[in-house]
Structure 1
Amino acid sequence: MTKVLFFFVCVLSFNLVASQVIYESLESSKLGESRDIKIQLPRGYDPESDVLYPLIIVMDGDYLFEPVVGNIDYHSYWGDMPKSIVVGINQRETRNEDLSYSAETYFPSDEGSRFFEFIGMELIPYINSKYLTSEFRIIIGHDLSANFLNFYLFKEEPLFRGYIAFSPELSPEMETRLSERLKTQTEDTFYYLATGTNDVNELKQKILQLDNSLKSVENPKLHYRFDNFEDADHYSLVGLGIPKAINEIFGLFKPINRKEYDEKMLTYEGSPYEYLMKKYEDIEFFYGFEKKVVENDIRAVAAAARKKGDLDAMKDLSKLASREYSKSMISAYYTGLYYEMDGNTKKALQNYQSGLLLTESQFITKDMLLDKIYELQDKK
């Protein structure tokens, strides 16, 4: 039943974003021909803003682009990942040539080498010049293209930080080469690999061998996740794997949930506010862009500060709320909480009352402020 609901969500999301897709034909000197691409910009994209978006490259865009876009839109809507720019490369007529490799070296040559350079030297620079992209890039592929994406890891400076490989049709020696390469990565690299119990048996056996190799890699810079989906075949595993891959790659980016609150924030050696600052510094370090502190995380810090009786943390949080949400009830509410915690009822009331003129937030409403005002007035 859960899988059925998931696919209904995807279908609805596909309908939502379909009208926003940009179709282009990109002239390529590397390929000696034009190549059709699809571009999905995030909701509310403003070319005049200073916001930078991760870039997600989807090979086999003829059929893989839409399910990826639907999931990206859905997860970014709920704040579980940043809004992103997704680019799909259509390969229906050229797939075997694009994804080919040398029978001697097992690395791209001829047509495969030209396609390899097309992505790195033409497509990505073109998208970067036209849209607001960050340096955090992900590449996604399925069977032949899931094998091909591995070749980018062997560049001296890899183009991508995230690699999502669905049921790769692995080239010879890839299991050994890839694990050896990932041992030496000096930049945080996210690698997601998936198969299914009903996957093509020949592919599955090699994928399981690759999983055993990657699990043994001892490198703190490698963030690896493997899934072997029960009852999934070569095609259905993709629909199950996309949200899993997103959750894995953007786990740090997600808002603080109950588990993180209990196991990390409350047990952190520093204050709850210091935990929040460390989390957002790590997000900027890992992903290469700054994330605005979300209201959910402000609530978590406030709850932890009150639970621990940490007045300094609440004071720092109130300053953050006022700075980041000056026109929202968030600023007034958390400043009021600080003064209330400090025993200054007069200033707490003033802030709660001033908040009535501001904009409601997802969690703070006029009724909540009025309840705080009546509560404090009754205590006077």
Structure 2
Amino acid sequence: MKHLTFLLLFVALFGSVSRSQDKTTSIQTSTKPFSLGITDEIQSAELTEKRILNIYLPEDYDQDTKTTYPVIYLLDGSANEDFIHIAGLVQYCTMIQTMPKSIVVGIANIDRKRDFTFPTTVQQDLKDFPTTGKSEKFMTFVEKDLQPYIQQKYRTNASKTIIGQSLGGLFATEVLLKKPELFNNYVIISPSLWWDNESLLAKAPGLLKSASAKNIKVYLSVGTEGKVMENDAASLAAVLKKSANQNFQVTFNPMPAENHLTILHNSTYKAFEVLNAKK
């Protein structure tokens, strides 16, 4: 009798648990990764190291196999830096038709102080940042390794934009002054022109005289980020507007409501509007 009572209790309990489990599993679910882009790894002959590229492709890239796209090259393009929110801006701005559908190439950093700076004569900077001063090699990497790789692997057109902030803005400025033909559009935000006692700013007029590239658009902005950075950005804008010939279109957009942490996102959004304004 005890055994029979135990058996009946067991069956009742098991049935109750089974029904309870059935209720919790009645909704069919599935989980899969949410993909924002793809990651390529290339071996750079110029830098003698592997570099990671985070790539955002337009939504219908795989379906529309005939269309070619502008390319936006993003400095500080690591996943934990600026790639995600800038790719999001591009997706949003193309959705509202502020700009054409575009490919974003985020260049992940290894040593940004090394890659984005030219040699300095400031001894304290040499002491504090001993790896700096290799921007010429990084510029050659962009020209001879990166751009050819992107052009060969993806469906690109002739439009090329570079986005750089802070030290990235310093590097973008150096490219603009020394090899402007590498890009059609320059988005230069809060450039660290104080580097090497503002030597690049001092050389800018002479470098611009020898520039032969045509139809280049420059968008330059700075927030409330200290008098040195603010004055340097304004001086660069003045030099560009004064020295650049008719083949340069320069927009200077001070954004006093922004600081060094907030300016990149909001300024890039404005840059997309300015650079793609319909005539």
TM-score strictly above 0.5: yes
Paired residue for 1:114?
137
Paired residue for 1:53?
69
Note if 1:195 corresponds to 2:229. no
The 5-angstrom pairing of residues 1-380 of structure 1 reads 19-46=35-62, 49-62=65-78, 63-91=81-109, 93-103=110-120, 111-155=134-178, 158-170=181-193, 171=195, 172-182=198-208, 184-197=211-224, 199-217=225-243, 219-252=245-278
In structure 2, C-alpha distance between the alignment counterparts of 1:204 and 1:185, rounded to whole Å? 28
Letter in 2 for 1:116: M
Quote the sequence identity (%): 29
- 1:127 shift after superposition: 0.8
SS at match of 2:255: strand
Q: Per-residue CA shift, 1:220-246, capped at 9, x if unaligned?
A: 322111111123111211122011111
SS at match of 2:203: helix
Distance 1:113 1:182, change over 3 A: closer
Q: Per-residue CA shift, 1:108-147, capped at 9, x if unaligned?
A: x963222111111111111111100111100010111111
Letter in 2 for 1:193: L
Distance 1:218 1:139, change over 3 A: closer
TM-score, normalization: structure 1?
A: 0.56
In structure 2, C-alpha distance between the alignment counterparts of 1:21 and 1:156, rounded to whole Å? 29
Structure with the higher fraction of residues in helix conformation: 1
In structure 1, C-alpha distance between the alignment counterparts of 2:183 and 2:218, rounded to whole Å? 10
SS at match of 1:115: helix
Distance 1:155 1:111, change over 3 A: closer
Distance 1:155 1:218, change over 3 A: closer
Question: Unmatched 5+ residue regions in structure 2?
Answer: 1-33, 122-131
- State whether residues 44 and 51 of structure 2, in contact with CA within 8 Å, keep that contact through their aligned partners in structure 1: yes
- 1:179 shift after superposition: 4.5
User: Which entry has the higher C-alpha Rg, 1 or 2?
Assistant: 2
TM-score, normalization: structure 2?
A: 0.75
In structure 1, C-alpha distance between the alignment counterparts of 2:54 and 2:271, rounded to whole Å? 21
- 1:211 shift after superposition: 2.2
Q: Per-residue CA shift, 1:159-202, capped at 9, x if unaligned?
A: 101001110001433334335544654511110111112x1332
Tell me the matched-pair count: 230
Paired residue for 1:345?
none
- State whether residues 47 and 132 of structure 1, in contact with CA within 8 Å, keep that contact through their aligned partners in structure 2: no
Q: Per-residue CA shift, 1:9-59, capped at 9, x if unaligned?
A: xxxxxxxxx713101221112111111110000110037722111111001
Please identify, of 118-127 and 19-28, the stretch whose mean Cα deviation from structure 2 is larger: 19-28
Please identify, of 225-234 and 175-184, the stretch whose mean Cα deviation from structure 2 is larger: 175-184
Paired residue for 1:261?
none
Please identify, of 134-143 and 74-83, the stretch whose mean Cα deviation from structure 2 is larger: 74-83
In structure 2, C-alpha distance between the alignment counterparts of 1:194 and 1:157, rounded to whole Å? 19
Letter in 1 for 2:226: V
In structure 2, C-alpha distance between the alignment counterparts of 1:206 and 1:70, rounded to whole Å? 30
In structure 2, C-alpha distance between the alignment counterparts of 1:200 and 1:186, rounded to whole Å? 33
